[in-house]
Structure 1
């Protein structure tokens, strides 16, 4: 029994080493070939390269591009006057100077401010003095910068319950910016959400768009998610090799095996672990750290 266990452990380690050896052969910034059932390993810059520039700003996606990464992730919410903006929290306090500019507007919710008011806020100084004057981008501004950088987008519809109709509005804007054509849909856009209902709406309105569910559905319920999603994206702490294999066993909404993107993977040990589980992608604040970890295994 002991001999079999040791043999199995050695085999597993050799398999992971071989898998990561394939990764090491690829140039920086590539979608890394992970091999096996995992398919392509995609490294997504979380809220842009958010360890190095203020999150969800044009500076953060420019930094991701400068580091050589193609995929960026963002969060979309809506202002009081119906404009879509890119910001993670439903509250403006953490990443802007809203308390200084509008001291009497507590609790400073995104939905309570117009786009023009939000455009007055500094969304960079909190991160570092060199980013003072950085603004919260509208989704239109953000999409144009992503296009300019030739990047790909994992777009999260944030808090859809606060913003009825945000799915249609987001898709309308994506269409107007040219992101619902064949070339973009073929491999440059994924829409994700923590809300299964929101993703069902996206899939109904735009069946060609790839979608991802943020969370860890039970294995018994995966068949229901496969009707309207293409990815299941759990926190890395919820993953195991068995769970990833169970997800891969289902074909998603576009007839291909469901994929798994793990978040938020920011260090070498975690990157090695989740790649060993067979994930298809990682979402990270530090994409360069993940790239170096996999290349140097």
Structure 2
């Protein structure tokens, strides 16, 4: 389903051109204006949610490699912390859904990420649940993930997951990003966005690194939007919770970096919904099926 050679080749060429020109598909980083798309071409930016997760096991290196082969620059991931303090890339706060932890460690229910060491998690198979062809895929550490995104010349929408479970995870995430070379001016201005469902988490990240582009996951009432604009650049809502008027209200505010705020909505996996949110004026669409969305809206 994902093999669309002409579209993928065009997107890959554009991504290479953007890299060579020093451009970006993120208006919040460069300021071309709401819903302008890369180089002002129009169409929302398409973000591969947990990698190309409709076609490969989510949050694995295989999923971001596939997104790259499909021609997508932007990938999204989730960050949590192990018992011994390692940051790993996984969505759930338990390991059961996307690994074989129940077979490897049958007596450790409920198999919370924070109750396992990084070495224990590294033993788990994070691919077979999705398909036998992915047997042996593993839960990557954040550093492993960053290195692969860098190798692929991709861009990262990084979500700090459930920060209330992991005190200090904001500072630790920034530390790992810095050690991996992701906090230099080029990455910060063009290749990285940090988001969370926790307003406090986003506020902390903004306070520690005011230069970073940040996003709040949720749909605040219009009356509360100015408060969020003080510490974030984007409001990223679930697609069922928004209207064209709400999107316009977000665009009407200047965010933390003095530019019009952006709306990147999730999780949109079908063409009809993609076109619907495009008509609402969203700037980006976060999707498990990026090829479907790209074909529907002409985004990149």
Give the TM-score of the pair, scaled to structure 1.
0.88
Question: For residue 190 of structure 1, what is the aligned residue in structure 2?
Answer: 193
SS in structure 2 at match of 1:186: helix
Shift of 1:39: 2.5
Question: For residue 286 of structure 1, what is the aligned residue in structure 2?
Answer: 289
Which residue of 216, 219, 222 maps to 1:219? Answer: 222
Question: For residue 50 of structure 1, what is the aligned residue in structure 2?
Answer: 53
Q: 1:127 to 1:223 in 2, by over 3 A?
A: same
What are the residue-to-residue correspondences of 1:64-143 with 2, within 5 Å?
64-143=67-146
1:263 aligns with 2:243: no
Question: For residue 182 of structure 2, what is the aligned residue in structure 1?
Answer: 179
After TM superposition, the runs of 4+ consecutive aligned structure 1 residues lying more than 4 A away are 29-33
Shift of 1:239: 1.3
Question: For residue 12 of structure 1, what is the aligned residue in structure 2?
Answer: none
1:28 aligns with 2:31: no
Shift of 1:32: 9.9
For 1:224 and 1:146, how far apart are their aligned partners in 2?
33
Deviations 1:220-250 (A, max 9, x none): 0000000000000001101111000000011
Deviations 1:184-218 (A, max 9, x none): 01110000000000011101111111100000001
Decide whether the 8 Å contact of 2:26 with 2:190 is kept in 1: no
User: Which structure has more RCO (C-alpha within 8 Å, separation ≥ 6)?
Assistant: 2
Q: Cα RMSD over matched residues?
A: 1.7
1:38 aligns with 2:35: yes
What are the residue-to-residue correspondences of 1:226-241 with 2, within 5 Å?
226-241=229-244
For 1:254 and 1:192, how far apart are their aligned partners in 2?
15
Q: 1:52 to 1:178 in 2, by over 3 A?
A: same
Question: For residue 243 of structure 1, what is the aligned residue in structure 2?
Answer: 246
For 2:36 and 2:231, how far apart are their aligned partners in 1?
21
Q: Give the paired residue count.
A: 271
Decide whether the 8 Å contact of 2:34 with 2:260 is kept in 1: no
Decide whether the 8 Å contact of 2:33 with 2:260 is kept in 1: no
Give the TM-score of the pair, scaled to structure 2.
0.88
What are the residue-to-residue correspondences of 1:191-210 with 2, within 5 Å?
191-210=194-213
Decide whether the 8 Å contact of 1:28 with 1:291 is kept in 2: no
Once the two structures are overlaid, the 10-residue window that deviates more, 142-151 or 40-49, is: 40-49
Q: 1:36 to 1:190 in 2, by over 3 A?
A: closer
SS in structure 1 at match of 2:245: helix
Question: For residue 17 of structure 2, what is the aligned residue in structure 1?
Answer: none
Larger Rg: 1
For 2:200 and 2:26, how far apart are their aligned partners in 1?
32
Shift of 1:80: 0.1
Unpaired runs of 5+ residues, structure 2, are 1-6, 15-24, 38-43
For 1:147 and 1:127, how far apart are their aligned partners in 2?
25
For 1:136 and 1:221, how far apart are their aligned partners in 2?
37
Q: 1:36 to 1:85 in 2, by over 3 A?
A: closer
SS in structure 1 at match of 2:124: coil
